Amino acid sequence: MMIALSATVSRLRAIPNVAVFENEPLQRRTRFAIGGPCRIFVEADGVDAVSGAVAVIRSSGAPWVTLGGGTNLIVSDEGFDGIALRPTGSAIRSSAPAVIAAEAGASLQDLVDASIKLGWSGLHTMTGIPGSVGGAVYGNAGAYGRSVAESLVEVEFFDGSSLRRLDNAGCRFRYRESIFKQQKDWVILSASFRLQPASAEPLGAEASRILAIRNSKYPPDMKCAGSIFKNLILDELPEPVRRQVPAEVVREGKVPSAYFLEQAGAKGMRAGGIQVADYHANLIYNTGCGTAAELRSLIADLKGRVRDRFGLELEEEVQYIGFEGPVRIAAAGQPRQSVL
């Protein structure tokens, strides 16, 4: 493996606009500030660099992942014995009538800010969602009533052998879901959005109001991934659970998973250096010295509590690198991993 990968490093370094880092600590690349080293970390700027890098990466036979800003990731303490690819192209372009396009490596906030400056409505409520445009498309990011799915026109991506495009329907968006979650070896390169002409001033005012709320909930230096678990669709809940949900907690047809977590006593729980916020049961953060093992242990405990209390399986919104998959909890009645 080492010999094959050292040849891979040389081949990657020969591609224009590609930067290669060996044994890169992923704690530097994630908002949780958790994660061991990645054998090869590749930054590729532009379509040719990304497609060239993917061709080399695939031919190496090593496991590989794509990542963006690392704001929705849990990386194992052991790191990732493979290759991580980060598209870094960040150009943003606008064209009439009210279409704005961005490369995957652009920050979502830069895209949101550009749209507000143009006086185009549709992305402004997503102000304050950290991470890249690529990550936002992958997870159909959204906040305050709007998500990527409502305004996205087209995505350009590399499927490993050719450049392809998908329209909105082709992306199969659902709540925090897209086709890219099923096709993890497709690399998103850029996306375009059709917005509604409006007026910059009220859009900016609304964005500022939202940002102030968000900053009080997620201080900018908080080491976290936003919400750990997806919310639940009210209509999909079993009838006995639905009956227990007070109408006032339902938002846009969804029940915040924080509601179930709070009932299960999650607020303020701790596992080593990892803490559930005492004001928000679906917000877990690293106090500074937390590990991925503690994070997984706490997630297992929270999932188990909600299952025991409501018979519901919470699903992580956060994505994992360097693990076999999401946290699995023991079947009901069997002992679970306890919180450290």
Ligand X SMILES: Cc1cc2nc3c(=O)[nH]c(=O)nc-3n(C[C@H](O)[C@H](O)[C@H](O)COP(=O)(O)OP(=O)(O)OC[C@H]3O[C@@H](n4cnc5c(N)ncnc54)[C@H](O)[C@@H]3O)c2cc1C
Q: Helices 108-117 and 200-217 sit at what angle, rounded to 10 degrees?
A: 150
Q: How far is the CB of 237 from ligand X (least distance, A)?
A: 21
Stretch that binds ligand X, among 13-21, 123-131, 238-246, 253-261 (CB under 6 A): 123-131
Residues annotated as catalytic (active site), given as ranges? 176, 227, 317
Phi then psi for residue 225, to 5 deg, are -130, 30
C-alpha radius of gyration, the chain, whole number: 20
Binds ligand X by CB under 6 A, chosen from 225, 264, 274, 329: 225
Q: Does 134 bind ligand X (CB under 6 A)?
A: yes
Phi-psi region of 23 (alpha: psi -120 to 50; beta: other; left: phi over 0): left
Residue 330 CB, shortest distance to ligand X, in Å, is 26
Q: What is the DSSP letter of 227?
A: E
Among residues 8, 27, 51, 71, the one that binds ligand X under rule CB under 6 A: 71
State the minimum distance, in angstroms, from the CB of residue 88 to ligand X. Answer: 10
Q: Decide whether 66 or 291 has the Cβ nearer to ligand X.
A: 66
Nearest to 34 by CA among 285, 230, 244: 285
Strands 232-233 and 254-255 turn out to be: antiparallel
Q: Among 52, 259, 319, 329, which residue interacts with ligand X (rule: CB under 6 A)?
A: 319
Instruction: Evaluate whether 146 touches 104 at the Cβ level (below 8 Å).
Output: no
Q: Which of 98, 100, 136, 152 binds ligand X (CB under 6 A)?
A: 136
Nearest to 85 by CA among 118, 120, 54: 54
**DSSP helix/strand/coil, 132:** strand
Residue 193 sits in the site that holds ligand X (CB under 6 A): no
247: Cβ contacts below 8 Å, ≥ 6 apart: none
Which residue, 70 or 290, is less far from ligand X as judged by CB? 70
| Least separation in angstroms between CB 267 and ligand X | 18
Q: Check: CB of residue 292 under 8 Å from CB of residue 35.
A: yes
Q: Is 46 in the site for ligand X (CB under 6 A)?
A: no
Q: Which stretch in 70-78, 166-174, 262-270, 291-299 sits in contact with ligand X by CB under 6 A?
A: 70-78
Find the binder of ligand X among 36, 37, 70, 290 (CB under 6 A): 70
Q: What interhelical angle do 2-13 and 47-60 show, nearest 10?
A: 160
The distance of closest approach from Cβ of residue 3 to ligand X in the complex, given in angstroms and rounded to an integer, is: 27
The answer to the question of residue 73 lying near ligand X (CB under 6 A) is yes
Q: How far apart are the C-alpha atoms of 147 and 308, rounded to whole Å? A: 32
Which tokens hold the place of 50? 């990304």
Q: How many residues bind ligand X (CB under 6 A)?
A: 32
Tell which one of 15, 57, 65, 276 touches ligand X (CB under 6 A).
65
Please state the closest distance from residue 99 (CB atom) to ligand X, in A.
20
Q: Which of 317, 223, 315, 229 is nearest to 274 (CA)?
A: 223
Note whether 322 binds ligand X by CB under 6 A.
no
Convert residues 270-309 into a mask of x (bound to ligand X by CB under 6 A) and - (unbound): ----------------------------------------
Q: Which of 13, 50, 40 has the alpha carbon at shortest distance from 188?
A: 50
| Contacting residues toward ligand X, per CB under 6 A | 31, 65-73, 87, 104, 129-132, 134-136, 138-139, 141-143, 180, 187-188, 218, 224-226, 319
